[in-house]
Structure 1
Amino acid sequence: MRRILFVFLDGIGLGPAGPKNPLSTDAGAAFRRLAGGAPWVQSLPERATSNHLVRPLDATLQMDGLPQSGTGQATLFTGVNCAERVGRHFGPYPHSATHDVLDHENLFHRVQALPSVPDGGVAFANAFPPRFFEAPSRRWTVTTRCCAGAGVSLRDLDALRARRAVAADLTAEGWRDGLQLDVSARTPADAAQTLFATHRDHVLTLFEFFQTDKVGHRRIDLAPGVLLERLDNFLGQLLDLLDPAQDTLVVTSDHGNLEDTSHTQHTRNPVPLLAYGWAASHLADARTLAGVTPGIVEALRTGRNDR
C-alpha cells in the first residue's frame, strides 16, 4: 500500500546563510539528506527526480506584509489562497473567511473522497492533553479545525502513553514538566518510530511540529541548536525507516521565522518543500503554499493505483 507522511514544520524559511541563521550553522545530516546534501538556506539547489523533490515555495501568496500561520496554514492544507480570500495575512488562528473551506474542502476531506482510500485512511498523529478536551470552549487551530470538519479523531493522553500518538515536542517533556502528567520520556527517534507506525496504518498521516515557530519567537527557553538537533534525529530516523517505493515523506512550512534569529518576527522568505519517495514527482508543479494539497491528492489519486 502506497502512503504519504506529511511532516509540517511551523516557521521554517530559507534565509541567507550566516551566523544568525541556525539552519545554516546547526542543522545536521538529516536536514542535508532531505535537501540533496545542501543546507536549508536561500541558495538551496532545486532538485526534481522521480523520487526526490527539493524546492522553495512562495509563502507570501502575493500579499503585502509578513505571512502568518492562520492564512498560510489554511492555504497549505486546502490548496486555496486563503490570504487572498481574507484580503491580508492573518493569524495565528484561522480567519472566519476561511472557515468554510477548512470545514469542507481541506486535505483530509479531499483524500477521504478518493475511491482508493478506505474509511479511516487518514490520520493526525499529534497527541492532545486532557485540558484540550475538557475545555468548555476552544479556539480551533487550522489543523484541529481540519480534523473536526473531516471527522478525523484527535489523539489523547492514552494514545500517547500507548505510543499511538506523538507529542508535539517529540520528547513529551512538556507533558511531564509543564502539565505534570505521567508520561514516559521519549527520544526524537522514539517519536519517529511511533509516527512511522501510525503512518504504516494510513494512506495519509499528518504530524505538526510547532516548536520551531515558538523558538523563533523566543516563547520557549530552548536554544535553536538544541531544537534542530532533536529535529534532525527525528527526521533521520524517519528517513531510515522509509521505503521510497511505498512511502513518501513530505516536509514543508507555512512561513519563515527561525531562519533569522536577529529578531522574533516572521519573514517573507520562501519556505522549503522537500519530498522523498514515490509521490515526489506529483508535487513538481508546486510553486506556492497552495500547490502542496493538490499535489498530495493527485499523487494518492493516481499513484495508489500504480503499484
Structure 2
Amino acid sequence: MAARTVQKSAIPIQNPNAIKVVAPNGTNKDPDAATATSPSVKSQTASESSPTVASAVANHPSATVPPVAEGSRPSALRAPGNNWQSLDMGGVGIRNIPTTSGLFSFTFLTNLYLNHNDLTAIPPQISKLRHLELLDLSGNHLESIPPELGMLTSLKELYLFDNALRKLPHELGTLHQLQTLGVEGNPLDLSLKQMVQKDGTHALIAFLRDSCPIPASPPERQWTQFVSQPERDAMASDPNAETFSLFCYNILCERCATERLYGYTPSWALQWDYRKELIMNEILNYTGGQK
C-alpha cells in the first residue's frame, strides 16, 4: 500500500510575487524547493506544496480525482465523532467481505476505498455506513450491487468503474446528493451511459428515481377500540344514537412537497394530483364512500 503510486493530475500554481532566495553561490533558489537535492525531488516537493495537490493527496489517497466540494443541502446527519474518517483498503487483494465483518461497525466513516480488489459481491450490510460521502468500488468483479446502497443518502461520490455491472438498481435513485457516479468500463445499457455522458449524474439518478416500480401498499392499520363490542352493537341498533367519525392526519401541504426538500422521492409521487387522490380514497374508505 505504501508503494502504490498516485498520479497527480493537478498543476502546481506558482506565486509570481514570491521572494527568491539567493544561495551562497549566487544562484536563485525556489523557497518551496529549498531542501531539494535533484530536479525530480524539486518537482515533487513543489507539487506537494500546492494547496490543490496537498488537499487531493490528504483527502483522496487512492482515486485519480479530488473529492467533490461540499454542496448545500437542507439537512445532514453528523457522523459520530472520531479522529479518523477515511479507510483505504484498495489494491490489497480482498476477495470477500463477510456479512459479519467489523467494517460495518465503523459507522463514523465518510470515505471508504475498496477499489482494485477481487470482490464479486458487496454485502447489503454496507447500508449501516450511513455517513459515507465517498465509496470507491472500482476495479473489482461486481456483477451487481445491493439495492441497500440507496440507503446511503449522504453519498456524493460513487465510483463503480471497471466492473461487470449490467444494470443499476432503481434504489440508487434515492441518492439525491450524489454528484459523481463513475460507471465507465461496465457492460451497462448504452442509453444509461449516454445519459451520464450527456446530462450528468443527476439526470441518471433522476431517471432511476422516477422509473422505479411503485412499491407495495402499506399493511392495514391496526385500530385500537375505545368502545367495547357490546356497546358498538347497541349503538348500531339504536336509531337515536348519534355517532361521528374523526380523522387526524399529518398531510404535507402542496407547496412543501418539493424536490429540494424530498430529493429522494420520485417527482410523480410529489405531485398534488397524485397525492390528493390517495388522500380522498383514504377518507372515503372509512366513511362508506360518502362525501
Structure showing the higher helix proportion among its residues:
1
Structure 1 and Structure 2 fold alike (TM over 0.5): no
Q: Quick one: higher RCO (CA 8 Å, sep 6+), 1 or 2?
A: 1
- TM-score normalised by the chain length of structure 1: 0.27
Higher Cα radius of gyration: 2
Structure showing the higher strand proportion among its residues:
1
